[in-house]
Amino acid sequence: MSVSSTHHPFDLTNVAGVRLRTLVWVRWVAIAGQLGTVLAVQFGLAVPLPLNALLTAILASAVLNLALTLWRPVQRLNEQATAVLLAWDIVQLGVLVYFTGGLANPFALLLLAPVTISATVLSRVHTVALCLLTIVLATLLASFHVPLHWPGGDLELPILHLLGVWTAVVVGSIFFAAYAGWVASEARRATRALAAAQAALAREQRLAAVGALAAATAHELGTPLGTIHLVANEIADEITPDDPLAEDVALLKSEAARCRDILKGLSAKADPEESHGPLSRLPPAALIETVAQRYRRPDVAVEIRTEGIEVPSLPRSPELLHGLANVLQNAIQFARRRVEATVTSGRDALEVTINDDGPGFPAAILDHLGEPYVSTRAQAGDHMGLGVFIAINLLERSGASLDFSNRAEGGAMVKIRWPRARLETVSGGRP
């Protein structure tokens, strides 16, 4: 049996629109402004207006807002519903402008507002449709409108001026839509990339937490397991080999011994003292060697050397491990035969330089490295162009700065630099 469903224009299948409450409140502000302007012109400036038509248009928008306020099955509109409501705003404003002088009314520029909102929250298709609607309305208003009757005579603006206003509305709708859409798209890309960086950091932190929990569990279970083993030995000493319980006691002893071996393995793999003991910080060379082990290739040699004096240790934090992993993984994957990691310790800074003999960074993206979704492999497989972005964000949390360049002899070069003062602050003054 199949079940068919009807797509409701106000369902939640697509949450790319805006919150219903936000759109309602913005429209209430617009209604108040429209009503105040009409009354001010009619009674304050003594300019006769077609009040019945204008108030009807404003009332229609208010009724729609009341209906949306009272009908609350959704909190967020999908793209189609948002586009329809923005189209209503354009048409309603076009009606008001029609009865108040057409494009001679300076408030005609407000036609650009719904298009700009659409560019920030809706897809390109809906934004283009609303932009075309605005252009069509502006074109009609340039020729068809009710002129304003000023006390000193009707205001007749030159055709050239009206053409300029029409051009401003058309060009403005296209420009604002393109500009606002581009800025909003960049903001959304950055938000998604930051979310990916946070997810990567959270994954590393979860792995570290699981290791610490496993070690703590092993320590906690050691005492009761020892008691079980001791009691099993005592029972085995008190019964004869031909006793019916002898086989069960032997099985109990063997399983207890097996559990003890498993707990020893857990303790060896994840010692809770690592997060606070001597292994919580490692020399940079040892840390790089630990990270590089995950991505080693048999045909690529990874050489690590240390230069300078008083080489400080680095914390085994998830940020540092994952950030270094992204840089080293790229270097090893693109290298032909060799990757060199040089640790240089000076009085003012600690610098780690990672070189490879691969093709290097493409010139087209070198200046954009660090931006989200920038990669020569962004469309290949599961590569999203976020590796460098995540590495920069995570390593900068430890106080590092990164520089990406190509070597003169070929290959890529990444320099990671920590100010000495920052490392001493993090380590409590200990090298």
Q: Domain limits at 140?
A: 20-157
pLDDT in tens, 53-82: 999 999 999 999 898 888 765 677 788 888
Measured N-to-C along each axis, helices 318-334 and 387-397 cross at an angle, to the nearest 10 degrees, of 140
- Could you tell me if 147 and 73 lie in one domain? yes
Q: What is the CATH number of the domain that holds 372?
A: 3.30.565.10
Residues 306, 283: Cα–Cα separation, whole Å: 10
Cα Rg, the chain, nearest whole Å: 35
Terminal CA-CA length for the chain: 71
Measure Cα distances from 118 to 7, 89, 263 in Å: 22, 12, 59
Measure Cα distances from 158 to 49, 165, 192 in Å: 22, 11, 50
Q: How many domains does the chain have?
A: 3
Centre a 10 Å sphere on the Cβ of residue 128 and count the other Cβ atoms it contains. 17
Question: Which position has the token pair 């020729």?
Answer: 143
Residues 296, 329: Cα–Cα separation, whole Å: 9
Interacting residues of 123 by C-beta distance below 8 A, sequence separation 6+: 16, 79
Interacting residues of 306 by C-beta distance below 8 A, sequence separation 6+: 283, 284, 285, 342, 343, 345
Question: Which position has the token pair 């029409």?
Answer: 166
Out of 275, 291, 307, a domain closes at 275
- Could you tell me if 234 and 263 lie in one domain? yes
Say if 6 falls within a structural domain.
no
Please spell the DSSP secondary structure of 45-58, one letter per residue: S-----HHHHHHHH
Say if 115 falls within a structural domain.
yes
pLDDT in tens, 214-245: 666 666 676 777 788 788 888 888 887 777 77
Asked if 314 contacts 284 with a C-beta cutoff of 8 angstroms, the reply is yes
Say if 2 falls within a structural domain.
no
Out of 125, 157, 189, a domain closes at 157
Residue 369 has pLDDT above 70, yes or no: yes
- Could you tell me if 370 and 400 lie in one domain? yes
Structure-derived torsion over alpha carbons of residues 234, 239, 240, 242, reported in degrees to the nearest 10: -120
Say if 107 falls within a structural domain.
yes
What sign for the dihedral angle of Cα 233, 239, 241, 247?
negative
What mean pLDDT is predicted for residues 156-181? 86
Residue 394 has pLDDT above 90, yes or no: no
Residue 14 has pLDDT above 90, yes or no: no
Residues 324, 341: Cα–Cα separation, whole Å: 11
Top-confidence residue, 357 or 257: 357
Q: Which of 235-239, 332-336, 345-349 has the highest mean pLDDT?
A: 332-336
Look up residue 82 and give its amino acid. T
Interacting residues of 431 by C-beta distance below 8 A, sequence separation 6+: 310, 311, 312, 313
- Could you tell me if 153 and 285 lie in one domain? no
The partner residues of 371 in beta bridges, in order of sequence, read: 369
- Could you tell me if 134 and 150 lie in one domain? yes
Residues 308, 54: Cα–Cα separation, whole Å: 80
Residues 123, 7: Cα–Cα separation, whole Å: 19
Residue 273: predicted pLDDT: 41
Please spell the DSSP secondary structure of 378-415, one letter per residue: TTSTT--S-HHHHHHHHHHHTT-EEEEEE-TTSSEEEE
Residue 259 has pLDDT above 50, yes or no: yes
Say if 192 falls within a structural domain.
no
Asked if 374 contacts 366 with a C-beta cutoff of 8 angstroms, the reply is no
- Could you tell me if 149 and 226 lie in one domain? no
Residues 164, 169: Cα–Cα separation, whole Å: 9
- Could you tell me if 221 and 237 lie in one domain? yes
Nearest alpha carbon to residue 97 among 56, 137, 127:
137
Centre a 10 Å sphere on the Cβ of residue 317 and count the other Cβ atoms it contains. 20
Q: Edge-to-edge strands of the sheet including 338-345?
A: 301-308, 338-345, 349-356, 412-419, 401-406
- Could you tell me if 298 and 412 lie in one domain? yes
- Could you tell me if 82 and 39 lie in one domain? yes
Structure tokens, 277: 């003991």
Say if 50 falls within a structural domain.
yes
Residue 129: predicted pLDDT: 92
- Could you tell me if 296 and 257 lie in one domain? no
Nearest alpha carbon to residue 415 among 351, 323, 321, 335:
351
Please list, residue by residue across 247-272, b when 16 or more beta carbons sit within 10 angstroms of its beta carbon and e when fewer do: eebeebbeebeeebeebeebbeebbb
What sign for the dihedral angle of Cα 52, 58, 61, 63?
negative
Asked if 392 contacts 414 with a C-beta cutoff of 8 angstroms, the reply is no
Nearest alpha carbon to residue 390 among 200, 115, 169:
200
Centre a 10 Å sphere on the Cβ of residue 80 and count the other Cβ atoms it contains. 18
Over pLDDT 90: what percentage of the chain?
A: 20
Residue 31: predicted pLDDT: 92
**If DSSP codes are grouped into helix, strand and coil, which group holds residue 74?**
coil
Say if 163 falls within a structural domain.
no
- Could you tell me if 292 and 250 lie in one domain? no
Out of 240, 275, 310, a domain closes at 275
- Could you tell me if 269 and 284 lie in one domain? no
Say if 13 falls within a structural domain.
no
Nearest alpha carbon to residue 300 among 325, 331, 327, 322:
331
Top-confidence residue, 33 or 256: 33
Residue 272: predicted pLDDT: 41
What mean pLDDT is predicted for residues 188-201? 69
